[in-house]
Structure 1
Amino acid sequence: MRTIHTIDYSEAKRAVELIVERVLQLQKAVVVAVVDSHGELICFARMDGAPVASIPIAMNKGWTAARARKPTQEIGEKVRHPEKGHDIAYYGDPKFVGWGGGIPVWKDDEVVGAVGVSGLSSIEDADLARAGAELITQGNV
């Protein structure tokens, strides 16, 4: 029998709250999705003014990071430069995305979930998602 570890709701909620607080200070808006080890949604926030198109993108960034076990930015770099990687269709699922903003959450050498952020630039989204992932990883919940 195998035990699968995953993020729990309280951890996911705290990560969402941290990201929302940071974005409010910037007077901007994003969508945040925290997912479990399978990429399925645990906690979600769509800030007032966040683009509607960012809703599925944030969820897909989290899903991709959890399933691929790597930041979505890395996947994006491989598909933008096929000589270094492959086409996005290689993954076999349209949910896979390559924009920055999806960060896996690692605990004890296994992916326990991921954080996806959408609504700002890929760099800003990735920085915010990383902050949420680090909060969970460090157990400061």
Structure 2
Amino acid sequence: MRTESTLDYADARAAIDAMRRELENRRRAAVMAVADMRGELICLERMDGVQTTSVRVATNKAWTAARLDSPSGDVGRAAQQQGWDFCYYDDTRYIGWGGGLPVRVGGAVVGGVAVSGLSQEEDIAIAEIGVAAIHTQSGDRS
């Protein structure tokens, strides 16, 4: 029997709450998404005033980060540098824009956190806050 670890709703809520607080402090708005180890959505929050297209982008960034165990922006840069198309993955959910980060606990990927609606740099910075909140919640400092 194989046992797998994944994020749960409490982890996702901790990440979303931490990211929202930071966005409110910065007087910014975005879409925040947290996915389980397979990239499936656990929790999503769209703040007022954010374009609706950012919902799908944030969801896909979290999917990509969790499924490929890599920041979504790194995936996009690798595709561009190597000259291959995302059709290679045969799933339109994979995305190469920055702002999706894998979450690792105890060395294993347990999910993904993503932000969309700001610049890629801001999306990444806010997503890092969400990952840190999950590590605090779990007691893991990976």
Give the structure 1 partner of residue 111 of structure 2.
113
Q: Distance in 2 between matches of 1:89 and 1:21?
A: 36
TM-score under structure 2 normalisation? Answer: 0.92
For 2:82, what is the secondary structure of its paired residue? coil
RMSD, aligned α-carbons: 1.4
Write the deviation string for residues 22-76 of structure 1: whole angstroms up to 9, x where unpaired: 1111211100010100111111100001111100000000001000011001101
Matched, 1:87 2:80: no
Q: Distance in 1 between matches of 2:5 and 2:53?
A: 31
Matched, 1:48 2:51: no
Q: Is the 8 A contact 1:32 1:116 kept in 2?
A: yes
| Alignment-mate amino acid for residue 100 of structure 2 | G
Q: Is the 8 A contact 2:14 2:137 kept in 1?
A: no
Give the structure 1 partner of residue 76 of structure 2.
76
Change beyond 3 A, Cα 1:2–1:140 = closer
Q: Is the 8 A contact 1:64 1:96 kept in 2?
A: yes
Give the structure 1 partner of residue 100 of structure 2.
102
Q: Distance in 1 between matches of 2:56 and 2:90?
A: 18
Q: Distance in 2 between matches of 1:79 and 1:17?
A: 32
Q: Distance in 2 between matches of 1:120 and 1:9?
A: 25
Q: Is the 8 A contact 1:23 1:29 kept in 2?
A: yes
Question: Percent of counterpart pairs with the same letter?
Answer: 42
Q: Is the 8 A contact 1:105 1:134 kept in 2?
A: no
| Alignment-mate amino acid for residue 61 of structure 2 | K
| Segments ≥4 residues shifted beyond 4 Å | none
Give the number of equivalent residue pairs. Answer: 139
Structure 2's unaligned 5+ residue stretches are none
| Alignment-mate amino acid for residue 42 of structure 1 | I
Structure 1's unaligned 5+ residue stretches are none
Give the structure 1 partner of residue 62 of structure 2.
62
Give the structure 2 partner of residue 19 of structure 1.
19
Q: Is the 8 A contact 2:13 2:43 kept in 1?
A: yes
Q: Distance in 2 between matches of 1:131 and 1:17?
A: 10
